[in-house]
Chains A and B, each alone.
Chain A
Amino acid sequence: MEITHTHSKSHTGYGGYVLIWLILIGLTVLTVSVSGIDFGNATLPLALLIATIKSVLVINIFMHIKHEDKIFRLFIGVALLILIVAFVFTAFDVFFR
């Protein structure tokens, strides 16, 4: 058999995953019910904030990043930074043209 056993440690238990799923469903219900209310300029940021919280939960728990080596967080950080730079520079061009 294989010599190297680089098993990731046992991640979250069944119950932990179900809990995260419940929170994700709750946030979905929240974002839908909140969308009916007019918060003016805050409506879009609020929807994006909820989506970001959901993403953080999915990445950390479902995608096991919480239990993974630090190198994964570094990789994801760099990738997100590149994406944010692309967004910010395009936004500057589009918004202040």
Chain B
Amino acid sequence: MGKRVAIIASSGGLETAYKVFNIALAAAAMESEVGIFFTFEGLPIIHKDGPSMLKLKPENAPMEEGFKRTNVPPIQDLIQMAKESGVRLIGCQMTVDALGWKPEDFIDGVEFAGAATFVEFAQDAQVTLSF
């Protein structure tokens, strides 16, 4: 109890989205407080157009068939479950500004902040992961 997991999602692609949310959901199910900082190429994961922006890398294309066969839920479902589990979704304000995006371009429930916010959250985390 009282454990905390801090995750940085700074890479692109659907692969990253699944890696991040699988770990986040497992951690939340294990009673950990979870926060994810989406920055640089990781930012589209929480964009409203995420489903069309997130693609598997060409070399991972065969996974698409495998995902279907093993009943891997759509990434939007995992994000929704994470929100319901109280996972904090933090969008990097600097990346948002640099890309010329707006807060309303993102899914509901995302907060926007900078590196210091993540560091402050991670200072008290037992587990910090970067994807």
Q: Do A and B bind each other?
A: no
**Which A residues lie at the B interface, using CB under 8 A?**
none
